[in-house]
Amino acid sequence: VVVVVDFGGQYNQLIARRVRENHVYCEVYPYHKAVSKIKELQPQGIIFTGGPASVYEEKAPKIEEEVFQLGIPVLGLCYGMQFMAQTLGGEVEQADMREFGKTAISVNTASPLFKGLQEQETVWMSHTDYVAKIPVDFEIIAHTENCPVAAMQNKAKKLYAMQYHPEVLHTEHGKEMLHNFLFEICGCTGSWTMANYAKTAIDTIRKTIGTGNVVLALSGGVDSSVAAALISKAVGSQLTCIFVDHGLLRKNEGDEVETAFKNSGMKFIRVDASDRFLGKLKGVSEPERKRKIIGEEFIRVFEEEGRKIGTVDYLAQGTIYPDVIESGAGDAAVIKSHHNVGGLPAVVDFKGLIEPLRNLFKDEVRELGAELGLPEYLVWRQPFPGPGLAIRVMGEITTEKLAVLRDADAIFREEIANAGLNRSINQYFAVLTSNRTVGVMGDFRTYDYTLALRGVTTTDFMTADWARIPYDVLDKISSRIVNEVDHINRIVYDITSKPPATIEWE
């Protein structure tokens, strides 16, 4: 394992992904927890991230100096480099001008960090502070026109640092530099695969659950399905999957999920709770309220079903890394409280939570699903939010609006599949806006709803680009929906990326 010490920079998750792309497992810890974790885990390497602070600020994030004495290789990036330099007796100063953007750099290719690279490279810089004097026993291994120490090393102590950001794609050979650190310096072998992850996770789940039983909230989406498969491998019939049909699913979805899991050998219960959910949501139009209500109601339903089963010790969920980050569990700002994290009521009737995918990104979850032998259509299912269509009907939810949205969304999905775009567009769906506009159908005036279509390409769902769906495909979708679905007389396509928009509309 490699430990990524989070100093609060914006590229922290990206660093983790880059490490994992090399089949090296890593975990991210906030700086104040890092050293105890490092001692516990005995990682093969440590990476310090960048961060917004300046090492001279009183509240600048710091970790214990002993991290440099453990004999474990350390790579400091940006703020991480400045912290290393200052702590070990070097000097950090503020430059007159910020160095920002793609920058030409001269590197010493004799350093293991730059093995196989050119003497002139292009890197991504973003800093004002810089290392003015390196600590004793260090040597400079890269510089730019404005930055005397763009990288430094103490080979004997295996301490390395870069002022620029190798994790960002604009650093042309950033991948190779990180690879060099991991393989040449830390001695990683790249043996972290989903097969190994599954093995470890299954062991851990078994130990945690013991002889207890566990109830899983199964939505039929990729995450909860993969979690179900994993937990089922660990504890077999101690697991019961509860599928709550909250009445906010897409067309035919409830039946599809039931068919897929009923015959899987797992214990599976479908609860029809649509009246209950829709009742609670009546008159509610504020998105965060909707999420909170749905999250809370979910838990109540599980508790009740759990009681019917007998003693339930654990509740399992398919929470994944981006949910954790975006719900403010890390230090990032709260954008949306995803129901399976932020919406959790304080009092829950279970001993604990089992969230075996908590540290995985979406594409890793799919890989794991394939590894566990789940059918392809489940593994490649596009993500569907826990609150379902509740956050795709803008404003107040009614059964009529849900029916309209379901039909329109089904046509959209059908045509995207017909056009062979269902793998390349990572998430696509229809949104029923609360906007009504005037139209003309035959000889009659209509005054009906505007439907919005959304399609995005993304790998991590934390950032996304709007999908360039060909005009003729959009045209076909548009005319089919207006012709086949009552109460929609206008269709728009969403052409905003995330950020500044989010993927869902609420």
CB of 106 to ligand XMP, least distance (A): 41
* Residue span binding ligand XMP (CB under 6 A) among the ranges 98-106, 151-159, 226-234, 332-340: 332-340
Applying CB under 6 A, among 43, 80, 387, 455 the residue interacting with ligand XMP is 387
Looking at the Cβ atoms of 90 and 221, the one nearer to ligand XMP is: 221
Tell me the per-residue interface mask from 81 to 110 with ligand XMP, x by CB under 6 A, - otherwise. ------------------------------
Per-residue b/e over 401-416, b at no fewer than 16 CB within 10 Å?
bbebbbbbbbbbbebb
Confirm whether residue 285 is marked as ligand binding. no
CA-wise closest residue to 418 among 472, 363, 374: 472
Instruction: Give the CA distances from residue 167 to residues 22, 23, 65, in Å, rounded to whole numbers and listed in that order.
Output: 12, 15, 25
Give the count of alpha carbons within 13 A of 294, CB side only.
29
Instruction: Give the CA distances from residue 94 to residues 49, 62, 82, 97, 468, in Å, rounded to whole numbers and listed in that order.
Output: 19, 18, 11, 8, 44
Applying CB under 6 A, among 24, 385, 453, 467 the residue interacting with ligand XMP is 385
Confirm whether residue 221 is marked as ligand binding. yes
Element (H, E) at 365: helix 362-371
Among left, alpha and beta (phi > 0; psi -120 to 50; other), residue 89 is left
Name the 3-class secondary structure at 30: strand
| Binding to ligand XMP in span 487-506, by CB under 6 A | 498, 502-504
CB of 221 to ligand XMP, least distance (A): 8
Q: Could you give the CA distance from residue 291 to residue 337 in angstroms, rounded to a whole number?
A: 7
CB of 240 to ligand XMP, least distance (A): 21
Q: Quick one: tokens of 26?
A: 């890593």
CB of 214 to ligand XMP, least distance (A): 20
Applying CB under 6 A, among 30, 212, 383, 439 the residue interacting with ligand XMP is 383
338 is an active site residue: no
167 is an active site residue: yes
Looking at the Cβ atoms of 414 and 460, the one nearer to ligand XMP is: 460
Confirm whether residue 254 is marked as ligand binding. no
Name the 3-class secondary structure at 12: helix
CB of 474 to ligand XMP, least distance (A): 21
CA of residue 89 relative to chain centroid, distance? 38
Q: Is 290 a binder of ligand XMP (CB under 6 A)?
A: no
78 is an active site residue: yes
Applying CB under 6 A, among 339, 392, 406, 490 the residue interacting with ligand XMP is 339
Applying CB under 6 A, among 83, 181, 192, 461 the residue interacting with ligand XMP is 461
Give the count of alpha carbons within 13 A of 333, CB side only.
2
* Residue span binding ligand XMP (CB under 6 A) among the ranges 8-16, 87-95, 113-121, 335-343: 335-343
Tell me the per-residue interface mask from 291 to 320 with ligand XMP, x by CB under 6 A, - otherwise. x-----------------------------
Applying CB under 6 A, among 17, 179, 246, 336 the residue interacting with ligand XMP is 336
Please write down the HEC assignment for all residues of 281-340: HCCCCCHHHHHHHHHHHHHHHHHHHHHHHCCCCEEECCCCHHHHHHCCCCCCCCCCCCCC
Instruction: Give the CA distances from residue 8 to residues 5, 19, 60, 61, in Å, rounded to whole numbers and listed in that order.
Output: 9, 18, 11, 9
Confirm whether residue 219 is marked as ligand binding. yes
Residue 85: phi and psi, rounded to 5, are -60, -50
| Binding to ligand XMP in span 408-427, by CB under 6 A | 427
Among left, alpha and beta (phi > 0; psi -120 to 50; other), residue 37 is alpha
Applying CB under 6 A, among 18, 386, 410, 467 the residue interacting with ligand XMP is 386
> Catalytic pick from 121, 167, 297, 371?
167
> Catalytic pick from 165, 173, 179, 246?
165
Confirm whether residue 306 is marked as ligand binding. no
Looking at the Cβ atoms of 173 and 338, the one nearer to ligand XMP is: 338
Q: Could you give the CA distance from residue 100 to residue 283 in angstroms, rounded to a whole number?
A: 49
Return all residues near 383 (Cβ < 8 A) that are at least 6 apart. 221, 222, 223, 362, 427, 461
CB of 382 to ligand XMP, least distance (A): 8
Q: Annotated binding residues for ATP, as ranges? A: 219-225
- The site for ligand XMP (CB under 6 A) is made up of 291, 336, 338-340, 383, 385-387, 427, 461, 498, 502-504
Q: Which positions are catalytic?
A: 78, 165, 167
Binding-site annotation, residues: 219-225
